[in-house]
Amino acid sequence: MASSFLRLQSVTVYVRDQDLSLRFYVDKLGFKVMADTLLPDGTRWVAVAPPDGSAILGLIAPAPGSEEFKRIGRNTEVVFLAEDVQAKFSHWTALGVAIRKLALMLTWSGTFAIFEDLDGNSFGLMGYDEATKRIEEDRRAETAKLEAERRAAQELEIARQVQARLFPQSKPQAGKLDYAGLCIQTRVVGGDYYDFLSLGPDRVGLVIGDIAGKGIGAALLMASLQANLRSQCANALNDPLARLPLVNRLFYENTGESAYATLFFGEYIAPLQRMQYVNCGHLPGLLLRRSGAVELLGSTCTVLGLFKSWDCPVHDVSLLAGDLLLLYTDGLTEAANEAGEEYGEERLIEALRRHQHLLPDALIAALVDELRAFSPHEQQDDVTVIVAKVPESL
């Protein structure tokens, strides 16, 4: 069993007047106020801590005559660590703090002093020896590491929120075509990409892509590709697919030699019940006809970004009443079970046929449920899907 979190919460120091003691610890010793509150039994709990570290002193004023009251003015056996005891000695003495003469402890080559608060409670003040310095250096290194990890996690969370806004926030109208998309990332951010583009009245672009790589690097390339694609489509609504060579060139020129992306871009034209598409090295789109027959919309050209000179022939296909289109990334079909067997295209097609009657949002949810049942362990790759369905009666 893994060990759980454990640390010292506080040490109780009994005082006569909490307000006077509070001012002493804050104004003269430079401590911080950590709490000043009433406990459920009505006891006032005042907590202070030294400027460095997490040790907390709870200043409690016990009832006169009680056993706790008799303990005021004794040695608390609490020892504080200072980097320069001599400097602390001089500073506190000038402020009127009662400190006994410094002593050099030969047994461990450190400096030691004893100081008292207003009530005569005594504390130890110890200087650094070599062992203590090493411990303190390790503590500071660990603190710096934890802070760096905290900042990295915070930056990743910001990146996740930014990337989430890059995915479609609305769905353009395209006749009666019903469609939906989903991206489930294996890390905080990733390189899978899907988009819905408004290309004019009753025309919509369905886009899905997969950037080579994972993590922040892939996410940045995904954002760059999306920006280029949206910009070029906005400049050529009448023929957006014709601008893909320019998208490829910009991606090629602005990325490293090994950077590339697969992409499927389909333009659905509702009045014609047809979709023009380009498949740039992406997995085949699955077109499930109303009859149950399946057509694969395979590659029409190579991937984006590897070659400066690049051409992408456009294909077209009909989307008729009752037809269903699925676009997806390899995180779906390459998810493996405990035996190492991949989910695969065949299982995916069988699942599509089982859920063909569902609307796109519900169908995606059903596919995700089946995938998680097949591969219940930790997800290894991003899973992104788009489902588009033409109503059975138009």
Q: What's the whole-number mean pLDDT along residues 345-368? A: 94
Tell me whether residue 177 is exposed, middle or buried, using C-beta atoms within 10 angstroms of its C-beta: 0 to 12, 13 to 18, 19 or more: buried
Res. 189: pLDDT tops 70 = no
SS3 state of residue 278: strand
376 within some domain: yes
Q: Is residue 309, in this structure, part of any structural domain at all?
A: yes
What is the C-alpha separation between 354 and 349, in angstroms, rounded?
A: 9
Q: By C-alpha distance, which of 153, 210, 158 is closest to 185?
A: 210
Q: The tokens of 262 are what?
A: 């697969």
User: How does 39-75 read in b/e, with b if 16+ C-beta sit within 10 Å?
Assistant: eeeeeebbbbbbeeeebbbbbbbbeeeeeeeeebeee
The answer to whether residues 60 and 206 belong to one domain is: no
Same-domain check for residues 139 and 167: no
Same domain for 186 and 43: no
364 plus 286 within the same structural domain: yes
pLDDT at 131: 59
Q: Is residue 71 part of a domain?
A: yes
- N-term to C-term CA, the chain: 61
Range of the domain at 103: 11-143
Among the listed residues 120, 21, 126, the one whose alpha carbon sits nearest the alpha carbon of residue 82: 126
pLDDT band (50, 70, 90) for residue 106: very low
Domain end (from 143, 177, 199): 143
Residue 363, domain member (yes or no): yes
In terms of domains, do 253 and 330 share one?
A: yes
Q: How far is CA 272 from CA 37, 120, 269, 287, 291, in A?
A: 73, 93, 6, 17, 20
CATH classification at residue 326: 3.60.40.10
Residues 93 and 129 reside in one and the same domain? yes
CB atoms within 10 A of CB 184: 17
Is position 148 within any domain? no
276-293 tens-digit pLDDT: 999 999 999 999 999 999
- Considering only 150-159, 207-216, 306-315, 361-370, which range has the smallest mean pLDDT? 150-159
Whether 352 is covered by a domain: the verdict is yes
Is the domain of 189 the same as that of 285? yes
CATH code (residue 87): 3.10.180.10
- At which of 143, 171, 188 does a domain end? 143
At residue 161, what is the residue type?
A: Q
Residue 158, in any domain of the structure = no
Please indicate, yes or no, whether residues 20 and 139 belong to a single structural domain of this protein. yes
Q: Is the pTM of this model over 0.85?
A: no
Q: Look at residue 152 and tell me if it is in a domain.
A: no
Check residues 393 and 98 and name the one with the higher pLDDT: 98
Residues 56, 183 within the same domain: no
Band (119; pLDDT cuts 50, 70, 90): very high
Say whether both 367 and 263 belong to one domain. yes
pLDDT of residue 323: 95
Inter-residue contact 52 to 83 (CB < 8 Å):
no
pLDDT in tens, 365-390: 999 999 999 998 877 788 899 999 99
Q: Quote the percentage of the chain above a pLDDT of 70.
A: 90
Give the mean pLDDT of 248-252.
Answer: 88
Residues 191 and 65 occupy one common structural domain: no
**Number of domains, the chain:** 2
- Given pLDDT bands bounded at 50, 70 and 90, which one contains residue 83? confident
Q: What pLDDT does residue 160 have?
A: 66
User: Which of 143, 178, 209 is the C-terminal boundary of a domain?
Assistant: 143
Beta-sheet pairing, 285-288 with 324-328: antiparallel
User: Three-state SS across 100-133?
Assistant: CCCEEECCCCEEEEEEECCCCCEEEEEECCHHHH
Predicted confidence (pLDDT) at residue 318 exceeds the cutoff of 50: yes
178 and 121 fall within a common domain: no
Instruction: State the Cα–Cα distance between residues 32 and 178, nearest whole angstrom.
Output: 61
**Residue 317 φ then ψ, to 5°:** -150, 150
